[in-house]
Amino acid sequence: MNILVTGANGQLGTCLRNSSAGSADNYIFTDVTELDITDAEAVSRMVKNNDINLIVNCAAYTNVDKAEDDADFAELLNAKAVRNLAEAMKAADGTLIHISTDYVFGKEPYNIPCREDQRGTPTGVYGETKLHGEQAIAQSGVKALIFRTAWLYSEYGKNFVKTMLGLTSSKPELKVVFDQVGTPTYAQDLADVIYNLVEYRTYEGNEGIYHYSNEGVCSWYDFTKMIAEIAGNTDCDIQPCHSDEFPSKVRRPSYSVLDKTKIKDTFKIRIPYWTDSLKTCIKNLKEE
């Protein structure tokens, strides 16, 4: 089978390279230099010329604050480009696996984990454009699986874990918000799930929206405390603070914990607890 991975140089795309290294399938990893997914003709050509059966779309505009001033480009990459991928796979009678986000929720107050069938209420441009991408997939009629995830981190690129490792090792004190609650996701865990669904073809006949993050719940403050503890950065005094102490152009979801019952029941998987995966990532970073 021929599998196209877009956004392949990002965190999830890089982890998917790791997962699929021994696969008999033909994975074609692309980023913007190899394929501009905002160009519908280029996408169609890539699919036809390489007889693509499945696309895993890891590409996205993810800068939450910058999106407020760059709404057109965020919409282009998170929605219009997704429509291009969906229409190309619909024409090829293939499947699209698309990565979405917990930021499609957040405007309405709630304190129970978000389910897949819950109405999207994004708080800013990033969440809105990601929701538009999901809607474009549904409107295309393509066979698709959408994975909403949250707080993604890994050994690669820029992410919260790597930033906090640096700050807690170099600063005597640090303030981190405690009034935004969710669940971290180790990108390698999600990549392994996607790889296994593709490798064993269990995605077939199981199209729909799924939620995936690691197990458990924490605030950004709790997350930072655990990062510092695992890394041994005990000299930094980490204190909780309110979100309004860090003014932002966009209001982030105060509670965006994802209910993962559906993905666990459908694919019979066990999801690692967030601190266990965090330990794995930090161990790997220290060994590099």
Active site residues: 126
d(CA 110, CA 274): 22
Print burial letters for 70-88: b (CB count within 10 Å at least 16), e (below 16). beeebbbbbbbbbbbbbbb
Give, for 186, the enclosing helix (H) or strand (E).
strand 185-186
Length of the chain, in residues: 288
User: CA–CA distance from 214 to each of 19, 37, 135 (Å)?
Assistant: 17, 29, 25
How far is 132 from 255, CA to CA, in rounded Å?
Answer: 21
* Strand 26-29, strand 2-6: pairing: parallel
**Both tokens of residue 130?**
């990601």
Alpha carbon distance, N-terminus to C-terminus of the chain: 33
CB-count burial class (<10 Å; 0-12, 13-18, 19+) for 38: middle
Q: Rounded to whole angstroms, how far apart are CA atoms 160 and 187?
A: 12
Q: Which two tokens stand for residue 186?
A: 């180790």
DSSP state, 78?
A: I
